[in-house]
Structure 1
Amino acid sequence: MRVVSSVSSAHERLTEVVAVAVEVAAEAGESGTYTGEIARTLTAVVGKIGARIAVDAEVRGFTSGWQEAVRHVSAPGPELDDAQVLRMRPEGDAGP
């Protein structure tokens, strides 16, 4: 399923970003130039890129799920035999 690969890819991308930030921090520490400002900057970079990666993964997951649903609806024949229709009750309705 594409959603899983999308999430896996996002996880790998974020892991790479964090690894690079840690590498930069380690190099700054070794050279004696690591400061609170560098820490805040690296944290902000990881946060911003992480947010973009998460949004991208959500959009790709939604898009692939939507495309899969459209294929199922438009496909004639037995492909729909295993489909389930779930109806949501209005809030407060304690029906069966």
Structure 2
Amino acid sequence: MTCTTKQTKGKWLTIAQKWQVIEEHGRSQPSPSLADLDILRSATTVMSKLEAACTPKGRSLTLRCPELEERLASYVEACAIMPAPPTRREARSAE
């Protein structure tokens, strides 16, 4: 692939496509388009997003709230301690 932006003209490039542009530029020295130059200027950002497991648009895959994580863990532990409610089959056989 010689020029990623020509094939995706007018479309958003994914992080993986930007990574391909950066790799191609590293292998050869073609005259890149302005869009390719913008991608190459932000190469460190693109690489960090790729390593951080982001979505194609650069959004984080997980959002974490420590308070909610703690509350969820305590709720799960409380549910594990409680006895399981009887099933319908068990309730019918007890009658």
TM-score, with structure 2 as normaliser: 0.31
Q: Which of the two has higher C-alpha Rg?
A: 2
Relative contact order, CA 8 A, sep 6+: which one is greater? 1
More helix by share: 1
